[in-house]
Chains A and B, each alone.
Chain A
């Protein structure tokens, strides 16, 4: 979209080698995928990052692990900082995307009002939430993205409430593009990043982002876990255009979600209501299918 945009940083590397992120970190994969999508589109970006693992990733001043201009925002404020920053970019006809890169705490919880307001104004920014379903940076507390049953340091007996449906919230803002991304499906992931880069206005991408530290899973299982989440319908992979046109990108294959819970020690298998979860996932897929069918009707 910006054919003449220079790639920031001589190394053309959005997430530089030598960062201190955990093994098996989904956020790191997401950042790398974003860098590749930008390179492929001959585009560039500035990042606005609130409090989350993403800003710790930068490392200590004056060095940085980011090969692009990066601005730290207060926890609730990345869409507001980005709105001002992108406004001045546009006033000066400068190239490059403005990308908010935020965790689920900054998105579902403390930053939701700010995000909602930026979406309502249709700010010309890309908002990417790497959702690891936990406050990872502070050592693993529950957020409203944490699924029911998960043990966190603030829900030591398992969370009793269900995960918030952020996609419905964002779709309700009728923004041009909203999509869920799974790193178990890199082609779909890359295509959606490219779609987001080629779209104007507020774009929202939700990445299912494994966190071995918080999920108490093995780092080498990360991709497999998010693959099972897609297959079993735990993480529906879909996109929404203008808040109304739904498209399901990967159909679940009916796989049993049991293994997803077995392989993460944040869940106590005896307390997980698998039948209830299967029923919920099936109902949710039906609803998404019905919404998707409205397009062709």
Chain B
């Protein structure tokens, strides 16, 4: 039996907007085991973003428990949450969120600056390794505006990997990319999942993207509507190969 990376039980999150209470999450329970590639799907207003914020330790649930790698998030202070984010979660955002006018290498190094456990002289090596893992070995000195969208997202993935987190949390990571580049990113994700055993939680609203994962959780109105195992995930690499050559530039 593999280790539970993520375990949530009866998770509720309510927002108070003026006199009204908005219940964004109405009791959600599931767990994710190490090495899983989970997509969380749902239309807008389904509580996707709220759940993502909680999973990313940016927000705390109103009710219910959330255990990340065995740590009860609810009990942590703001500073401890920050440390947890640094050590255990690698974020990948829809809009990359790279620092402008900053080289790819320095962007990847950024999380290490906030990690006391990594000695200064090891930072560069780890950043180089992470960039090599996303196949950007020849782009160290490029700034974001010198990189394509797909390359920028790969830098962001390298940044997510550099602290060796237990989980990569992607928020619509392919939302700004065309389908070819999306497949490239998904192929990279699948590689990381299969070859490196990384646990990936991928929030998306595209069923096409969800089909690459090993499991899909469908949210609706703040509840889990469907939780399906995908026994035969599509291979993004295969999809790439099948795309007509004419697109290749």
A and B part of one assembly: no
Q: Chain A: residues with CB nearer than 8 A to chain B?
A: none
Q: Tell me the B residues contacting A by CB distance below 8 Å.
A: none
